[in-house]
Structure 1
C-alpha cells in the first residue's frame, strides 16, 4: 500500500469508526447549538450539521475587527488598508484558498496576489464565513487550504456619510445612499482612502463603488475598485515600483423553491486590470499590463427527502488572460458536485461530498469530503472530517518570462489531504471551540532560486500540523474573546522557497468589545505573532467611538500602537503606528 493509499485508508477508517460509535449512542431528541444557517459551504445548511470548523463573523464584531479576529485566518499585507493582501488559512499560501461572494466562487487566473481585490465595502457585509480545511469537494479548484465567503446585507433605504483623517496625511471618505423602489431597495456606496505613505513609494489611493439590491429571493450586485499605489520592495528592491489595479465584479442570482427543493442559479463576471511599472520615475523602462476575465455560472439544487438531503449541481467557468508579459491564454472548466446528508437521527449528521472537474490543459480531478457531526448534548457538538482538495497553477506560475524569473509550463496541480477533529460548545453566555488538524500537501508550487534564476517548481511535500482554540463570553456590557492558532510545517526546499515557510507558528488574539457609559463603545485587540524562524511581534489596535443624538458618531482609532518594526513579507515594511479620527452621520 503506497503513502497516498495509507492516508486515504486512515481517513476512511476514522470516519467509519465515528459513524458506528456515535450511531450506537444516538438518541431521538432534537438539539440545536445555535440558530445559524451557513450560506457556504453547505448552501443554507444548519450550523450544527456541518462537520468542518466554521467561523461566522457578523454584526459589530465584523465592523470593528474584521475576519482576522479568527487566528487561523491571515491577510498578509504588502500594503496597508487593503492595498494588496495575500490570503492565508492555516498557514497556506495566497494561491491555495478560495474566495466566494454569496456562495459563488471568485478567482484570479493571473495571480492570487489580486484575489483579494474585492470591491466590497465592510458596511454592506452581513457576515463573513470562514471554512478552514479543504473546500474543493464543493467549490473545485483553489480549495487546497480553505474558503472565505462574503455575504451582503439586504439592501435598505437610508443615508450615511463619513470623513476621516489620520497619520501620514491619511484621508477617507464614505457615502451610502439607499432608495426605495417598486423592484426592491437599491443601495449606492462610494468611498476613497488615500495617504502619502509612511515612507517614500508607499503612498496609495483606493476608490470603491458599489451598486446593488438584495432581498430573500434575489441578489444583483456590481462593484468597482481602483487602486494606485507605490510598491516599494513588493517584488524587487532595486527600483521604486508602482502598480495600479482596476477590478469590476458583477453578480446575479435568483432562487426558486418548493416544499422539498431549492434551486439558485447564479452568474458572476470579474475583470481585473493590472499595470505594473518597475521604475515609477521612468515608466517606459519596464512595464507589464494584464487583463484577466472570469465568467462563471453555477446551478445548485438542494432536495430534501426522508432518508437524506441532497445538494447537487454543476459549475461552468471561462477564464482568459491578455498580458504583455505572459501572453494570451484561455482556461475552461466544467464541474459536477454531489453532497449527501443522511438522516440517521437528531444527533448524528454524517455527510459525503464529491466533485468531478474537467479543466482544459489539466487532467480531470476528482475531489471528496467525508464528515461527521455528533451532538453529544444540547450544548456540545463533536465533529470530524477528511477530504482531498487541490489547486491548479496560475498563469503567472506557468508562463511568466523575464531574464531572472521564469514560469514553468510543466507544473502539475497541488494536492492536499485534510484531516481534522474538533468540538463546539455553547451554553448561556459562553462559546468555546477547538480543532486539531493535519494537512498533507503534494506537488506544492513555489518559486525556487537556483544560481541566478528564480523558477516556479513543484516541491515534493508539505506537511502542516496545528490546532486552533476560540472562545468568547457575551456579558451584557462587555464581550471578551480569545483566538489562538499553532502551526508547524515541514517541507523540502523550505529555506529556498519564496512563499512557503512564511507563516505564523503562534498567532494569539485577545480582544474585547465593550459598551461604555455616555453612549460610548470600545473595541480593543492585542495580537501576539511569532513568525517561523523570525521575530516576535506584539500589535495593539483599538477603536473608541461615541454617538451623539442617535445620528452622529465620532470615532478615534489606532493601529500598531507600540510602533513595532516588522515585516509580513521579507523586505517589505509593515505599517508603523497609525492613528486617525472619523466622524459619521446617518439617517
Structure 2
C-alpha cells in the first residue's frame, strides 16, 4: 500500500513538472499575526509561527479544529475518539495544561482543567485562519502560554455570503454546519451553527456536539470601532476509558458559553483596544453513565476579564502596552468553591537598527492572589540577511499556576495535591527562514529549562494518580519544515501545495524509580508530517496527508489520510475523506484505542 502511494506521488510530481505553466505566488507574508499589541506581518516575525489558512482548513481531511491542528509541525494532538470530541493540545513537548488557546485574542483557559481548553465554541466552517505561536508566549499573552499559544481567527465581511456543509460516514457519523455573513450598512455580522454526532466506533464512544457563534461589528467613524461576540458549545459524549481505563462506562456533558465586547480607537500613530469578556464552563461527569448515584461530579467555572492593549509610534520605534484584570472562580461538588484574581501589566518595545536588524523586547508583570508577583521577560532579534533569508533568535520566561483539578480533585483514580507549586521555564531559540517565490522553509533549534514541572504520577497500577513537582527538566528540540504553494493554473495536473516537516525533541529526565508518569514521560519525541495537494483540471483536488509520531515510552505509529474535492470553490461541491488508510493500531491519549480505517463524504454550498 505505501509503495503504491509513493509511486503515485512520483508520477503526479513528474506530470506537474511537465505540465506546469507560469503561476503567481499566493502570498501569506503580509497577513498580520494577531498578538493583541504589536502586530507584525508573518514575514517579519522573529519567532517560530505556523499559519493555517482557509485553503488548508478546507482541503484537510478534518471535521474539527483538533484534527486540523494534528497536521501542524511541532503540535502534539492527543484525541480521545474522533472529530475532536475530547482532545488535548501540546506544543514542543509540553502538556495540554501548558498551551494557551485563544479566540480572536481572547483567552479560553479554564481554571478547572486544561482538558476543557479545546472547547472552542466556533464551527470550523467559520474559522478564517489559525495562528500557532511556538515557544514561551507569556510576555505576549500572559499566564498559561507556557510552551506556546494557538489563536483561532474569525473575520467580519462586508459581502453577503452563505456556506452550507454536510457529511456522513462510518460509525453512524453525520454533521451539518452553516455560516453566513449579512452586513447591514456599516454593521457587519456573522452567524455560524454546527451539529455533529455519531453512534461511536467502539462501546460507549457516541457523541453529540453543537456550536453556535455570532459576531458583529461596526465602524462608528474613522477612529472608533466596536466588535462583539456571543458563542455557545454543547458536548455530550460517552467517555470509554477517557480518564480511567478501568471504567468503560464513563460519561461527560460539557457546556461552554463565551461573550465579549471590545472597542478600538485608532488615531495616527496611536491605537487602543479595550475589551471585556466572560466565559462559563459547566461540566457534568459520571463514572458510570447510567448510574449517576455511583459517582458524579458537577463543576461550574466562570472567568471574568477586562483588558486594555495599545501601541504608539515614536522616534524610538513601536511601543506596546497593556493592562489586564481577570477573576477565576469555580463551584464544584468535588473540588469545592474557590476563586482567585490575576492582574498584569504588559510593556514592550520594538526598534529597528538600520534596514536589516530589529529588536523586540518586553516585560509582563503578573500578580496572583495566591502566589504574589511574577515577572516574564522576553526578547527577539531579527536579521534580514538577504531578501529571502531571515535569521532570528529569542529568549523568554514562562509560568503556569496549577488548575483546581491539580490542587483539589478527589476520586477513585485521581487525587489532587494542594501543595503544588507553579511551573516555571526559561526558553531560548535560534532559527532561520527562507522565503522565495512559491517556497517557504524554516529551521529552528530550541531549548527549554523547566523548574517545578507538574505531572500526574503513581507508584503502581492499583494506586490513584496524583500530581507532583519535578525539580528540573530540560527540553532540546529541532524543527525543520518546507512549504510550497502556487495559484491555480490551466495545467491538467498541478501540484498546488506541498509540505514536509520533521521535529525532534529530547527531554533529559528519567522516570523516578518505581513511579509511572501520565503525561510528561509520554511527550513528543519524533514527528514527521507531510502533505501533497494536487489539482486535476479546474474542479478536482486531491489532498494526501501523512503523520509519523513517536512519543517517549510509547510505540510509534504512521497515519495516512486523504481527501478529494470536486468544485470546492464553486456554488455546489462534493468531497470524500478517508482516515487512517493504513488501518494503524494506535493510541494518542491514555489507553483510548483510536479507530482503524474509516470514511466520510459530504457536500458544500457556497453562495455570495
TM over 0.5: yes
Give 2:542's match in structure 1, choosing from 489, 504, 522.
Answer: 522
Q: Deviations over 1:515-554 (max 9, x none)?
A: 2125111121011112222222111111111129931111
Residue 163 of structure 1 deviates from its aligned partner by 2.1
Secondary structure of 2:376's match? strand
Alignment gaps of 5+ in structure 1 = 1-31
2:536 aligned with 1:533: no
Residue 11 (structure 2) aligns with: none
2:562 aligned with 1:542: yes
CA distance, structure 1, for counterparts of residue 343 and residue 526 of structure 2: 39
Q: Deviations over 1:32-81 (max 9, x none)?
A: 99323211265422334432211111120133333332220122111221
Residue 119 (structure 1) aligns with: 121
2:186 aligned with 1:166: no
Residue 286 (structure 2) aligns with: 277
Residue 592 (structure 2) aligns with: 572
2:500 aligned with 1:498: no
Give 1:326's match in structure 2, choosing from 329, 335, 341.
Answer: 335
Q: Note if contact 2:444-2:478 (Cα within 8 Å) is conserved in structure 1.
A: yes
Residue 64 (structure 1) aligns with: 59
Residue 232 (structure 1) aligns with: 240
Q: Deviations over 1:146-201 (max 9, x none)?
A: 11111112244222222211001101111223323235232221111111111111
CA distance, structure 2, for counterparts of residue 456 and residue 157 of structure 1: 51
CA distance, structure 2, for counterparts of residue 574 and residue 315 of structure 1: 41
Secondary structure of 2:406's match? helix
2:480 aligned with 1:469: yes
Q: Note if contact 1:371-1:385 (Cα within 8 Å) is conserved in structure 2.
A: yes
Distance verdict in 2 for CA 1:530–1:404, change over 3 Å: closer
Secondary structure of 1:109's match? coil
Residue 160 (structure 2) aligns with: 157
Q: Note if contact 1:168-1:198 (Cα within 8 Å) is conserved in structure 2.
A: yes
Q: Deviations over 1:252-309 (max 9, x none)?
A: 2221111111111122211011100100131221100100111111101101112221
Q: Note if contact 1:63-1:122 (Cα within 8 Å) is conserved in structure 2.
A: no
Q: Note if contact 2:137-2:148 (Cα within 8 Å) is conserved in structure 1.
A: yes
2:36 aligned with 1:34: no
Q: Note if contact 1:135-1:147 (Cα within 8 Å) is conserved in structure 2.
A: yes
Q: Note if contact 1:518-1:546 (Cα within 8 Å) is conserved in structure 2.
A: no
CA distance, structure 2, for counterparts of residue 223 and residue 107 of structure 1: 15
Distance verdict in 2 for CA 1:453–1:283, change over 3 Å: closer
Q: Note if contact 1:386-1:417 (Cα within 8 Å) is conserved in structure 2.
A: yes
Distance verdict in 2 for CA 1:41–1:184, change over 3 Å: closer
Q: Note if contact 2:502-2:527 (Cα within 8 Å) is conserved in structure 1.
A: yes
Residue 199 (structure 1) aligns with: 202
Q: Deviations over 1:234-261 (max 9, x none)?
A: 1112321001100111122221111111
Secondary structure of 1:398's match? helix
Distance verdict in 2 for CA 1:365–1:256, change over 3 Å: same
Distance verdict in 2 for CA 1:101–1:549, change over 3 Å: closer
Alignment of 1:8-407 (within 5 A): 34-40=29-35, 43-65=38-60, 66-155=68-157, 156-214=159-217, 217-239=225-247, 240-402=249-411, 405-407=414-416
Secondary structure of 2:59's match? helix
Q: Note if contact 1:48-1:373 (Cα within 8 Å) is conserved in structure 2.
A: no
Q: Note if contact 1:133-1:418 (Cα within 8 Å) is conserved in structure 2.
A: yes
What is the total number of aligned residue pairs between the two structures? 556
Q: Note if contact 2:244-2:413 (Cα within 8 Å) is conserved in structure 1.
A: no
Residue 9 (structure 1) aligns with: none
Alignment gaps of 5+ in structure 2 = 1-26, 61-67, 220-224, 488-493
Q: Note if contact 1:95-1:111 (Cα within 8 Å) is conserved in structure 2.
A: yes
Q: Deviations over 1:203-259 (max 9, x none)?
A: 111111111124774432111110110101111123210011001111222211111
CA distance, structure 1, for counterparts of residue 573 and residue 413 of structure 2: 52
When structure 1 is superposed on structure 2, of 396-405 and 340-349 the one drifting more is 396-405
CA distance, structure 1, for counterparts of residue 485 and residue 597 of structure 2: 30
Residue 459 of structure 1 deviates from its aligned partner by 1.1
Residue 553 (structure 1) aligns with: 573
Q: Note if contact 1:198-1:576 (Cα within 8 Å) is conserved in structure 2.
A: no
Distance verdict in 2 for CA 1:284–1:339, change over 3 Å: same
Secondary structure of 2:474's match? strand
CA distance, structure 2, for counterparts of residue 343 and residue 189 of structure 1: 42
Q: Note if contact 2:122-2:192 (Cα within 8 Å) is conserved in structure 1.
A: no
Q: TM-score, normalised by structure 1?
A: 0.91
Q: TM-score, normalised by structure 2?
A: 0.88
Q: Note if contact 1:99-1:148 (Cα within 8 Å) is conserved in structure 2.
A: yes
When structure 1 is superposed on structure 2, of 175-184 and 355-364 the one drifting more is 175-184
Distance verdict in 2 for CA 1:346–1:548, change over 3 Å: closer
Residue 25 (structure 1) aligns with: none
Distance verdict in 2 for CA 1:578–1:219, change over 3 Å: farther
Distance verdict in 2 for CA 1:235–1:67, change over 3 Å: closer
CA distance, structure 1, for counterparts of residue 576 and residue 42 of structure 2: 36
CA distance, structure 2, for counterparts of residue 214 and residue 568 of structure 1: 40
Q: Deviations over 1:392-442 (max 9, x none)?
A: 000111111235532111211100111100011101111111111011111
CA RMSD of aligned residues (A): 1.9
Residue 100 of structure 1 deviates from its aligned partner by 1.6
Q: Note if contact 2:243-2:590 (Cα within 8 Å) is conserved in structure 1.
A: no
Residue 446 of structure 1 deviates from its aligned partner by 1.2
When structure 1 is superposed on structure 2, of 519-528 and 320-329 the one drifting more is 519-528
Q: Note if contact 1:414-1:443 (Cα within 8 Å) is conserved in structure 2.
A: yes
CA distance, structure 2, for counterparts of residue 288 and residue 532 of structure 1: 32
Q: Deviations over 1:468-514 (max 9, x none)?
A: 11111224432111121111112253662211121221111110122
